[in-house]
Chains A and B, each alone.
Chain A
Amino acid sequence: AQTVTQSQPEMSVQEAETVTLSCTYDTSESDYYLFWYKQPPSRQMILVIRQEAYKQQNATENRFSVNFQKAAKSFSLKISDSQLGDAAMYFCAYRSAQGAQKLVFGQGTRLTINP
């Protein structure tokens, strides 16, 4: 079974600075997808960024980018120019490209933005 590990329960960053959230995963599959989701106090799950495992190029979405290291099974999220609205729980998630395609989530990292 696949597992996702986020080793940072909490992180904080000064507004306008850069922060990196860590995520590692374990799988024997070669074809899969990785995601970062944001969950603000409203608890609505918001997709931040996604990465296809077969793509070597790291995904970017405006201020959000990932460092995908397939061999190391690492998938970190970098948030540049942090804004107060970025404060939330962030979940790393894995989804197989085959079978049931359910999302497996990490434990989450609570990100605080200091003004």
Chain B
Amino acid sequence: GAVVSQHPSWVICKSGTSVKIECRSLDFQATTMFWYRQFPKQSLMLMATSNEGSKATYEQGVEKDKFLINHASLTLSTLTVTSAHPEDSSFYICSASRAREEKLFFGSGTQLSVL
């Protein structure tokens, strides 16, 4: 089965610092990767869609200068939360799609806590 690895699993940082989260497809080439955000007891909200070698497409209301997404290869996408603030504390989940498959493969998520 397809495996998506997401690191780190959890991170604590000080307000004003930047945090990078990695999402890797271990055994397949991911044509598209998606980044979701989940607040406690809420659903997953799509933040952005990234395709290898091109700029990410951000959902309405998501600050692209704050949440930097880089999809430099077919197996790696990164989300950088810049100048993090406590309100950015959340659970971030990546997912990846494989060519000609309708289902998505999810990473295990990253819990970000900003102090």
Residues in A lying within 8 Å of B, measured CB to CB: 33, 35, 42-45, 47, 50, 52, 91, 95, 97, 100-108
Q: Number of B residues whose C-beta is below 8 Å from A? A: 20
Main secondary structure of the interface of B (DSSP, over half): strand
Give the complex CA separation of A61 and B91 in angstroms.
29
Give the complex CA separation of A96 and B104 in angstroms.
12
User: Nearest-CB distance from A7 to chain B (Å)?
Assistant: 13
A105 touching B44 by the CB < 8 A rule? yes
B44 touching A44 by the CB < 8 A rule? no
Question: Pick the contact of A104 from B46, B57, B103, B109 — CB < 8 Å?
Answer: B46
Give the complex CA separation of A50 and B95 in angstroms.
16
- What residue of chain A has the Cβ atom nearest to residue B60's Cβ? A1
B109 touching A44 by the CB < 8 A rule? yes
Give the complex CA separation of A84 and B39 in angstroms.
25
B102 touching A33 by the CB < 8 A rule? yes
Residues of B within 8 A of A103 (CB): 34, 44, 46, 95, 104
Given contacts A43-B108, A97-B102, 17 further A-B contacts (CB under 8 A): A35-B103, A43-B38, A43-B91, A43-B93, A45-B44, A45-B106, A50-B102, A91-B43, A91-B44, A95-B102, A95-B104, A100-B49, A101-B32, A102-B49, A103-B44, A103-B95, A105-B45
